[in-house]
Amino acid sequence: MSLPSQLTDLAEYLAGEFDNKEQAIADPVWYVHLRLWHRPVNLFSEDSMTLFAEQANIINLENPYRQRIMRLKAGSDIEAPLQIQYYMPKDPGSLQGAGRNPALLDTLTPDQLELLPGCVLTVTQQKIAPHGYKFVATPLPDTSCTFTYLGNTVQVSLGFEASAAEFHSYDKGIDRETGKATWGAVLGPYRYTKRNQF
């Protein structure tokens, strides 16, 4: 089955190694200097494309965190032709460091992942400049991305914009009692620049 060209373009824009060095230097109080990896993974390849994601503080690259799987697939809505479904590794520690060491992903199978039903983004394509475009990913309306991690219930608000050279992350943790953001893109997106293409 051939995949839509928009889907393969989205995967190409997302796949890579990124950091937000310029943002962290300009505003170190609010933005930690992070490295972010999106590694292609050979899962669900019959109808979608899949990426492994994790990030690390630049001063502690040996301890990456937020391991997750992004499954990119065609959507059913003409207004939002693409969707991303998130999964969490059942044993995140077994994949820790796979951003820098992709061989750790070679034996990953779907049964090692937990589907996160409320963690879905719809993706649209928007024209920018005369010859370029970006992808904008936003949560489905009336959904909540909630999961259990290390015995705690965690709620996250997801979202991003991706162009050929940049990735802007709107991900933030939400306090379930107050509904307010507690970490992540509290004052605006983390603005990553792509340093290597995978």
The confidence score (pLDDT) of residue 132 equals 84
Calculate the alpha carbon distances from 83 to 70, 78, 108 in Å.
10, 11, 22
170-183 pLDDT, tens digit each: 999 898 888 898 88
pTM of the entire structure?
A: 0.92
pLDDT grade for 95, boundaries at 50, 70 and 90? very high
CA 105, CA 26: separation in Å to the nearest integer? 35
The confidence score (pLDDT) of residue 179 equals 85
The confidence score (pLDDT) of residue 1 equals 55
4-31 pLDDT, tens digit each: 889 999 999 999 999 999 999 999 999 9
Structural domains of the chain, ranges and CATH numbers in brackets: 5-193 (2.40.128.590)
